[in-house]
Amino acid sequence: MTTIGFIGLGVMGAPMAANLVTAGFDVVGYNRSEPKRAALVEAGGRAAGSVADAVRGADVVVTMLPDSPDVEAVVLGEDGVLEHAAPGTLLVDASTIRPDVSRVVAERARERGVRPLDAPVSGGEAGAVEGVLSIMVGGEAADFDAAQPVLRAVGSTIVHVGPDGAGQTVKAANQLIVAGNIELLSEALVFLSAHGVDLKAAVDVLGGGLAGSTVLQRKAPGMLDRTFAPGFRVDLHHKDLGIVLDAARAAGVAVPLGASVADLMASLRAQGGGSLDHSALLLQVERLSGLAADELGDSADA
């Protein structure tokens, strides 16, 4: 039985680890929060008391962490993954981080004989629970092939997109598109509401035309109900748009609409909305339109 050390059992990591257990893998999970570790045990996995405990003896190590500094600390840091991973171990980083950091992690991993893949995912909490994530993978083709059984247990669209860091670059583009879609959906809902249109009926018909999208399908119901419990937090999308802007600047390309949405996301976060779902961009559009919006705290509790 393949043993997987899974580090990071949050909103995305917990259901991914559970799906790996269901697929028949021996999953040893670590999270700083004990209740998260206990939940994995209830799902049939094993709990580790540290990163080192999760990595020792693992054939594959999966990391699902919030940001670049977290990956650097957990993978490259003292008593981290690379100090304890055996040569030949597959290291699958499913976090969303900066492409340049991903390339550094890959270089350091290979120096230790570890086989790195950057494999960020898209599909949100629902996709993680259902095991239908889209996974964009950077790294060596042979390592991508070797990781297929693990990746297929958590995703349905799995594509090798290029060398080290390419997966993170594609994920940045994904986050740019998603943020733009949510912002335009928010504007459309405010526009329709101002004209007295039945919003549910409008969303139904828009979903069947060229305006239809996964964003509309998955985010519109919560926006109509004005519930913004996080499937993907504003804090994280704010971070991801920062990655987009930095990478665009480094490449010398313009992302004018992306920059505008990044400003709106940052504003929402600065006003206390960081813990809300990113669909709460609707609240910002309402404020810009001079409409009374729910208080952020009320929306978070809804």
What is the amino acid identity at position 226? R
**For residues 206 and 216, what is the distance between their CA atoms, to the nearest angstrom?**
9
260, containing H or E segment: helix 256-268
Q: How far is CA 206 from CA 106, 188, 200, 202, in A?
A: 43, 10, 10, 6
**For residues 174 and 145, what is the distance between their CA atoms, to the nearest angstrom?**
23
The angle subtended at Cα 47 by Cα 156 and Cα 6, nearest 5°, is 35
Residue located via tokens 């990391």? 63
What does the DSSP assignment read for 104-138?
A: HHHHHHHHTT-EEEE--EESHHHHHHHT-EEEEEE
Report the Cα 3 to chain-centroid distance in Å. Answer: 23
**For residues 205 and 194, what is the distance between their CA atoms, to the nearest angstrom?**
18
Respond yes or no: is residue 171 known to be catalytic. yes
Pick from 293, 124, 248: nearest CA to 281: 293
Residues recognised as catalytic:
171
